[in-house]
Amino acid sequence: MRVAMYYNNQDVRLEELPTPQIGPGELLVKVLASGICGSDVMEWYRIKKAPLVLGHEITGEIAEVGKGVGGYRVGDRVFVSHHVPCNTCRYCLHGLHTVCESLHTTNYDPGGFAEYLRVPPLNVDRGVFALPDEISFEDGTFIEPLACVVRGQRLARLAPGQTILVLGSGISGLLHVAMARASGAGRIVATDISAYRLNAAQRLGADSVINAEEDVPARLRQTNENRLADLVIVCTGAFPAFRQALQSVDRGGTVLFFAPTEPGIDLPVPVNDFWRNGIVLMLSYGASPLDISVAIDLIRARQVPVHEMITHRLGLTETGLGFHLVAKGGESIKVIIEPQR
């Protein structure tokens, strides 16, 4: 079968690998759509494991069912989660599924930028979800990233009427904007250095936008009755955004670090001021099976306009171009690879 093999962001090669052979308890899935995630182009994170086949936002059809697998048939439309929790460890039992060791070590074989993938038994047990007929294969690639957004906003306790500041209007930032709008946020402000992405943020629900190179806290006050934000969501690894977040949160507010920095970077925090003002700092990584179910329902009900975020649909031979588009961060939002093309 054909795969797109990642060596680095500028070197993604079309190669051949044997089609995976499945065993008992496993599924073989024919990949029909696979989204390129922002984390796929975090080179410092990915290159240490290269060469490998990336891609974890996939939808497809079941091509083969292993012995002992019930509830699935050849031809079923599915979304498959690459990381799954054990549901039995102390972390899972306390609702902390995304720090579960199983979630950090599970995956499918070889990755979403391939014509077929093998789904291991644990993923079959708790990581395969029926894709409703109302959701196209390409729209289904948003299930995983939207589930991460659902979890982040749930943990941050986003509430109707709040002022939300989203720092960074790439795909995760735009999903946060659209999700906050669907959740009844009072005022949504988005930032970026790209006029193209700022325009997209306004189309998808932001009340106002700010160029990230401006004085963001001052501009926020101008657009928000001299108030800062109740919830600040950092959706870019650019370090200035992390400083802007600490300067833009109102008393009693929350800062959600949704994106990581590069390794080895420390963020000075004004502990004294935040202690007096009741500021909450928190992080969010990944999604639980519950969040995935919620994301599926949101997309099926068209509560979050994911289809409008798709800018490029490319065949497997064009995966390198897709990586270039996402890494460059220019006039693209969601790039989807269709491995059967």
Q: What is the CATH number of the domain that holds 125?
A: 3.90.180.10
Please indicate, yes or no, if residue 149 is contained in any of the structural domains.
no
Shared-domain flag, residues 62 and 102: yes
Contact between 270 and 246 under an 8 Å Cβ cutoff? The reply is yes
Structural domain of 164: 157-283
What does the alpha-carbon distance between residue 221 and residue 226 come to, in Å, rounded to a whole number? Answer: 4
CA distances from 84 to 81, 123, 287 (A): 7, 6, 9
Mean pLDDT of the chain: 97
Angle between helices 171-182 and 195-203 (to 10 degrees): 20
Together in a domain, 74 and 119: yes
pTM for this predicted structure: 0.96
Are 6 and 139 part of one and the same domain?
yes
Largest CA distance in the chain: 63
CA Rg value for the chain: 20
* 323, part of any domain: yes
Mean pLDDT of 290-317: 98
Is there a single domain that holds both residue 181 and residue 59? no
Confidence grade of residue 329 (pLDDT, cut at 50, 70, 90): confident
Q: What is the pLDDT of residues 162-191, one digit of tens each?
A: 999 999 999 999 999 999 999 999 999 999
pLDDT 10s digits, 193-223: 999 999 999 999 999 999 999 999 999 999 8
Q: Is the pLDDT of residue 56 over 90?
A: yes
Amino acid 235: pLDDT: 98
Classify residue 163: in a domain, yes or no.
Answer: yes
Contact in structure between 337 and 316 (CB atoms under 8 Å) = yes
7 with 123, same domain?
Answer: yes
**184 belongs to a structural domain:** yes
Answer whether residue 326 shows pLDDT above 90: yes
- Residue 197 sits in a domain whose CATH number is 3.40.50.720
Beta bridge partners of 209: 190
Q: Is position 152 within any domain?
A: no
In this structure, are 278 and 332 located in the same domain?
A: no
Looking at the fold, whether 316 and 299 belong to one and the same domain comes out as yes
Q: Do residues 240 and 329 both lie within one domain? A: no
Residue 260 domain-assigned? yes
Are residues 174 and 271 located together in one domain of the fold? yes
Q: Among 239, 257, 283, identify where a domain stops.
A: 283
Distance from CA of residue 63 to its chain's centroid?
26
Is the same domain home to 170 and 277? yes
Residue 330, pLDDT > 90, answer no
The residue among 251, 267, 283 that closes a domain is 283
Q: How many domains does the chain have?
A: 2
